[in-house]
């Protein structure tokens, strides 16, 4: 036992010594992560494992950092732009974490899949009688779509975007900085093929799949390729007129004999995809068979696998492969927001009003409201007549519709709301679901929660008999952290920050004394030789 312990000790001790030895041959050794660290010698970079073995030889001008799939880029022959610290020129390749060269170092371009410029549309429903594009206001509408697409061929649904086209993600050439990570799953790459267009080299993109470590689209054919969708990659060879085909990863061939002229396409879903052309929107399968049903317009949801469709002035909802979820019978439907679909229908008096459906088309809220805003932090503002209220994602009223204005905090979930009970009246703080004022004293002005600090709202009160307003702050739980004694927002902000940093979370009488002392400028009028009375000291 003694011998074993001694051997183990010597083994560990010996290991420790040799680890330091191999490091000495490098000018720099990075920090180990997943048992890999970059090394630098004579201005060249590589990677080693924890035993000091070079898994990526130290011959590259720059290297990246391994991404989540264990892939890293290398660059040979590139130069660094001093100002932006990005690399230009040189050739790129890819290694995996075991040191296998999975993409040869022979490509001039490497990129990432990014959303195109067209991807931020907004909606605005002015009144229940129809849409009013001229009044489109990006603040009061449904959330923008983060993925997927919108189509609009006749302007019946006006969306505030730059044009009516919308493309799926496309490769963008990026400039790496040393040790940048590459995109996670699909890595576009390309070579200059010798041709030029407008004096720029024409490049043909390919795609490398970081999960399977294989080239799924070779880079010698297509001008543009888009994010893979299952076994298919949308590709195009003509950029002056948009048209699409699908490249099948499994067979390495194009699905269709001819490109499909189109304005936009959707991802493939259950073997189907949507096409927009001059005639409308329709589904097509991989055999080129077109569905009988077509639509005038389709709007994709940002969060659910559901498309809102529009035809002959009626709205409905379908799945991304064309199955009907909600029949085409509504005057208006909006893409789901917090798993609720806003709709328009007649109320008890026969007037058109907004309400909510769930994702299966069942009614959650009857048609009661003249207008509805997007949900933010699971709350949405609603209006009945000229009074505003607030509902949650169950359709329940957090605040009833009896306020002339509600200041809904957009970025924070809190039970405290600032409201104006009357037009141009003072503001009050209300607690959700209680219909009760939190403080009886009104506020003249407010800066809502999160505007300056997380979970804090700054409020002002009018001093009796004076024009001055003094400033304090309240937290999201309704506690007054600083009473309204500060002379300006800046002063209150600074005081809040200082108190938080020092861990003072509750206000006391001593704090009030300290505050007034700090504003007594005479405390700084003493000479170095004087003894200063306690009246001028806070402690």
Partner 1 sequence: MKKLHISLIIIMLSQFCQAQNSLDNEIYYRRPSLYSILISHTEQNEFATLIRGQFVNIPVPEKFNDHNLSVSVLTVDKKNAVNDTIAQDFVEKNHIASRMIAKWFNRDITTGKCNMDLIKHRGLYNATEFDKEVASKSVRGQAMLQDAGEDLINNTFLLINEVHYLDKSKISHVVGVSLAVLYAIAYFGATLAGSPPEKEPDLEGMYNLAATLKGFKVKIVTRLYQLEWDDDIANTFYSNYYCETPDAAKCQAFEQHRSDFKMKYIGKVTSKGNTTSYQGIKEEEPWMMVRKACQRAIDDNISDLQREYPIFRTRSPITEVSPVIKAPIGMKEGVEEGRQYEVLEAKEKNGKITYTRVGIVTPDPDMIWDNRFMAVEEEAEGADLGATSFMIVSGNGFYPGMLIREI
Nearest to 273 by CA among 287, 254, 259: 287
Q: Which stretch binds partner 1 (CB under 8 A): 212-220, 459-467, 475-483, 503-511?
A: 503-511
Q: Does 532 sit near partner 1 (CB under 8 A)?
A: yes
**In the complex, least distance from residue 393 CB atom to partner 1, rounded to whole angstroms:** 28
Interface mask toward partner 1 for 167-196; x: CB under 8 A = -----------xx-----------------
Residue 134 near residue 155, CB atoms below 8 Å: no
Among 44, 65, 384, 452, binds partner 1 (CB under 8 A): 65
Among 9, 279, 394, 435, binds partner 1 (CB under 8 A): 9
Closer residue to partner 1 in complex, CB, 20/139: 20
**461 bridge partner residues:** 470
Residue 233 near residue 216, CB atoms below 8 Å: yes
How many Å apart are CA 478 and CA 253, to the nearest integer? 63
Among 156, 172, 324, 510, binds partner 1 (CB under 8 A): 510
Which tokens go with 314?
Answer: 């009626």
DSSP 90: S
Q: Does 512 sit near partner 1 (CB under 8 A)?
A: no
Q: Which stretch binds partner 1 (CB under 8 A): 14-22, 233-241, 335-343, 463-471?
A: 14-22
**In the complex, least distance from residue 29 CB atom to partner 1, rounded to whole angstroms:** 6
The interface with partner 1 within residues 22-41 (CB under 8 A) comprises 28-33, 38
Among 251, 287, 436, 529, binds partner 1 (CB under 8 A): 529
Among 18, 20, 150, 335, binds partner 1 (CB under 8 A): 20
Residue 377, phi-psi category: left (phi > 0), alpha (psi -120 to 50), beta (remainder): left
How many Å apart are CA 356 and CA 375, to the nearest integer? 12
Q: Which stretch binds partner 1 (CB under 8 A): 202-210, 237-245, 377-385, 529-537?
A: 529-537
How many Å apart are CA 432 and CA 111, to the nearest integer? 48
Q: Does 526 sit near partner 1 (CB under 8 A)?
A: yes
**In the complex, least distance from residue 84 CB atom to partner 1, rounded to whole angstroms:** 11
Among 200, 362, 466, 527, binds partner 1 (CB under 8 A): 527
DSSP 107: E
Q: Does 6 sit near partner 1 (CB under 8 A)?
A: yes
Q: Does 18 sit near partner 1 (CB under 8 A)?
A: no
Q: Which stretch binds partner 1 (CB under 8 A): 163-171, 373-381, 460-468, 501-509?
A: 501-509
Cα distances from 332 to residues 131, 164, 317, 328, 329, in angstroms, run 9, 20, 11, 10, 9
Q: Does 534 sit near partner 1 (CB under 8 A)?
A: yes
Q: How many residues bind partner 1 (CB under 8 A)?
A: 55
416: which residues sit within 8 A by CB, 6+ positions away? 429, 430, 431, 432, 438, 449, 457, 474, 476, 477, 478
Q: Does 42 sit near partner 1 (CB under 8 A)?
A: no
200: which residues sit within 8 A by CB, 6+ positions away? none
* Burial profile 40-76: b = 16 or more Cβ within 10 angstroms, e = fewer: eeeebbbbbbeebebbbebebbbbbbbbebbbbbbbe
Closer residue to partner 1 in complex, CB, 31/292: 31
The C-alpha angle 333, 335, 339, rounded to 5 degrees, equals: 110
* Burial profile 283-315: b = 16 or more Cβ within 10 angstroms, e = fewer: bbbeeeeeeeebbbbbbbbeebebbbbbbeeeb
Nearest to 225 by CA among 194, 284, 265: 265
Q: Which stretch binds partner 1 (CB under 8 A): 101-109, 267-275, 435-443, 520-528?
A: 520-528
How many Å apart are CA 67 and CA 75, to the nearest integer? 16
Q: Does 12 sit near partner 1 (CB under 8 A)?
A: yes
Among 1, 17, 292, 348, binds partner 1 (CB under 8 A): 1
Q: Which stretch binds partner 1 (CB under 8 A): 235-243, 264-272, 423-431, 506-514?
A: 506-514
* Burial profile 114-131: b = 16 or more Cβ within 10 angstroms, e = fewer: ebeebbebbbbbeebeeb
Residue 87 near residue 62, CB atoms below 8 Å: yes
Closer residue to partner 1 in complex, CB, 139/521: 521
Instruction: Tell me the DSSP string of 118-166.
Output: T--------BTTB--GGG--TTSSPPPPSSS-EEESSSSS---SSSS--
Closer residue to partner 1 in complex, CB, 211/494: 494
Residue 67 near residue 184, CB atoms below 8 Å: yes
Q: Does 324 sit near partner 1 (CB under 8 A)?
A: no
The interface with partner 1 within residues 472-491 (CB under 8 A) comprises 487-491
The interface with partner 1 within residues 387-416 (CB under 8 A) comprises none
**In the complex, least distance from residue 486 CB atom to partner 1, rounded to whole angstroms:** 10
**In the complex, least distance from residue 452 CB atom to partner 1, rounded to whole angstroms:** 13
Among 202, 346, 402, 513, binds partner 1 (CB under 8 A): 513
**In the complex, least distance from residue 102 CB atom to partner 1, rounded to whole angstroms:** 20
Binding residues (CB under 8 A) for partner 1: these are: 1-2, 5-6, 8-9, 12-13, 16, 19-20, 28-33, 38, 65, 178-179, 487-491, 494, 498, 501-504, 508-510, 513-514, 517-519, 521, 523-529, 531-532, 534, 536-539
């Amino acid at each position: 036992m003694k011998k074993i312990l001694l051997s183990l000790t010597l083994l560990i001790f010996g290991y420790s010594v040799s680890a330091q030895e191999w490091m000495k041959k490098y000018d720099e050794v990075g920090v180990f992560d997943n048992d890999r660290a970059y090394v630098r010698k004579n201005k060249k970079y590589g990677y080693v494992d924890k035993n000091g073995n070079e898994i990526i030889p130290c011959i590259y001008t720059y290297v990246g950092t391994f991404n989540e799939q264990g892939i890293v880029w290398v660059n040979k022959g590139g130069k660094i732009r001093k100002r932006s610290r990005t690399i230009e020129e040189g050739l790129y390749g890819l290694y995996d974490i075991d040191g296998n060269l999975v993409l040869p170092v022979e490509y001039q371009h490497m990129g990432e899949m990014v959303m195109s410029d067209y991807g931020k549309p907004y909606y605005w429903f002015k009144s229940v009688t129809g849409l009013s594009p001229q009044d489109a206001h990006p603040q009061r509408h449904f959330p923008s779509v983060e993925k997927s697409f919108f189509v609009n061929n006749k302007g019946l649904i006006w969306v505030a975007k730059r044009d009516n086209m919308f493309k799926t993600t496309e490769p963008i050439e990026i400039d790496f900085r040393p040790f940048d990570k590459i995109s996670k799953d699909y890595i576009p790459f390309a070579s200059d093929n010798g041709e030029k267009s407008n004096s720029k080299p024409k490049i043909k993109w390919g795609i490398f799949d970081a999960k399977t470590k294989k080239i799924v689209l070779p880079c010698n054919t297509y001008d543009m390729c888009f994010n893979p969708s299952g076994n298919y990659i949308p590709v195009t060879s003509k950029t002056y007129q948009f048209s699409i085909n699908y490249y099948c990863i499994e067979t390495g061939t194009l699905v269709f004999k001819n490109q499909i002229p189109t304005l936009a396409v959707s991802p493939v879903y259950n073997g189907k995809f949507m096409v927009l052309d001059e005639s409308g929107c329709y589904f097509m399968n991989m055999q080129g068979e077109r569905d009988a049903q077509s639509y005038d317009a389709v709007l994709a949801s940002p969060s659910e696998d559901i498309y809102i469709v529009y035809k002959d002035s009626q709205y409905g909802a379908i799945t991304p492969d064309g199955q009907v979820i909600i029949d085409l019978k509504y005057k208006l439907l909006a893409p789901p927001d917090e798993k609720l679909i806003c709709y328009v229908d007649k109320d008890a008096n026969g007037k058109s009003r907004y309400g909510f459906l769930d994702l299966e088309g069942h009614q959650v809220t009857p048609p009661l409201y003249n207008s509805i805003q997007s949900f933010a932090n699971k709350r949405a503002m609603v209006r009945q007549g000229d009074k505003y209220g607030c509902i949650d994602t169950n359709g329940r009223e957090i605040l009833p519709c009896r306020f002339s204005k509600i200041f809904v905090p957009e970025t924070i979930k809190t039970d405290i709301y600032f409201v104006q009970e009357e037009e141009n009246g003072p503001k009050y703080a209300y607690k959700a679901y209680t219909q009760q004022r939190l403080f009886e004293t009104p506020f003249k002005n407010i800066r809502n929660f999160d505007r300056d600090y997380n979970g804090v709202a700054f409020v002002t009160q009018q001093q009796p008999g004076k024009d001055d307003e003094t400033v304090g702050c309240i937290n999201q739980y309704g506690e007054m952290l600083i009473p309204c004694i500060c002379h300006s927002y800046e002063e209150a902000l600074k005081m809040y920050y200082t108190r938080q940093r020092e861990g003072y979370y509750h206000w006391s009488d001593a704090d009030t004394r300290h505050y007034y002392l700090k504003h007594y400028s005479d405390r700084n009028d003493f000479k170095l030789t004087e003894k200063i009375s306690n009246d001028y000291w806070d402690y």
